[in-house]
Amino acid sequence: MSVPLKLIYNEGPTKTVNKDVHKATVKPIVTYNNVCKSYGDLHVLKNIDLNIAPGEKVALIGPSGSGKTTLARLLMTLEEPTDGTIEVNGELLWHQRVNNKLVKANEKHLHQVRGNIGMVFQHFNLFPHMTILRNVMEAPRNVLGLSKEEAKERAITMLERVGLAEKIDAYPAQLSGGQKQRVAIARALVMRPKVMLFDEPTSALDPELVGEVLEVIKAIAAEGEMAMLLITHEMDFARDVADRVLFFDQGRIIEQGPPKKIFINPESERLQTFLSRFNKH
């Protein structure tokens, strides 16, 4: 059993880190194996190797256009890698192993693997004609095949978790951007994914609404067992939530480590330059 390890640094917040995260023996929940992605001559991802352990919180930072969203889109199965493989919970995305050979995965297989991944994007894409409760119940009903009562119970629990229990009968148009994003988080969580992927979840929000969404994500992260990949331009948030921070530039992982190392003792010049832009603000 893993033992939570309390870690305090730089007068910063108290973090809970899963000790097992850094042990080589833990079977990763997500594996990128030599993944490349090109659009014509543009090589957006170059030989990415990345393991994410169960429960591990990984923040991805880096300049605009460095390939962070592309890395996420591959995991969401919205894009196919040009080369390499990705595994989630031991199952290949895009490919299957048949007689030890890689063959193209069918839709059924993809659907199954995708069920392990929850996604929250910049834009919430809620169904405007459905109440908040219906928005969150929809996938448990239609994808998991739960009864109406079971789906409702699960949805209400999730909406309570993101602080929106009193809004279940409201429609998306009646909510603030921050509240809509919290619904989107509940909608992803209700499927009980093993991995949650957040792609700049606050970048479309008015500044005064950013905090409430980040607080919800932090609270979910602190609960533990679910792995998270967080793409963010919020450096304080990355520092507070992540067990490991990856600095991405020009399609490669340039540097990675615990937040303390990345934000206080960055090694590469590129990371130092990148961080200095944030420190000026």
* Contact residues for ligand ATP, defined by CB under 6 A: 39, 42, 44, 62, 64-70
Distance CA 29, CA 196 (A): 11
Closest separation in Å from C-beta 256 to ligand ATP: 16
Distances (CA, A) of 242 to 95, 129, 166, 172: 30, 36, 30, 30
Smaller CB separation from ligand ATP, 52 or 60:
60
Q: Cα Rg for the chain, rounded, in angstroms?
A: 19
- The H or E element containing residue 88 is strand 83-88
Smaller CB separation from ligand ATP, 15 or 68:
68
Closest separation in Å from C-beta 252 to ligand ATP: 12
Closest separation in Å from C-beta 17 to ligand ATP: 26
Q: Are 252 and 46 in contact (CB under 8 A)?
A: yes
Helices 177-189 and 207-223 pack at an angle, to 10 degrees, of 20
Smaller CB separation from ligand ATP, 18 or 232:
232
Closest separation in Å from C-beta 51 to ligand ATP: 20
Smaller CB separation from ligand ATP, 64 or 100:
64
Smaller CB separation from ligand ATP, 12 or 84:
84
| Half-sphere exposure of residue 176: CA atoms within 13 angstroms, side-chain side | 12
Alpha helices (runs of H) in 224-266, residue ranges in sequence order: 235-241, 259
Smaller CB separation from ligand ATP, 156 or 196:
196
DSSP conformation class of 161: H
- Quote the tokens at residue 37: 């992605």
Distance CA 281, CA 259 (A): 19
Closest separation in Å from C-beta 219 to ligand ATP: 25
Distances (CA, A) of 34 to 45, 47, 55, 118, 232: 10, 4, 23, 23, 23
Closest separation in Å from C-beta 233 to ligand ATP: 7
Closest separation in Å from C-beta 64 to ligand ATP: 3
User: Of 280, 277, 221, which is closest to residue 59 (Cα–Cα)?
Assistant: 221
Distance CA 70, CA 41 (A): 15
Smaller CB separation from ligand ATP, 25 or 64:
64
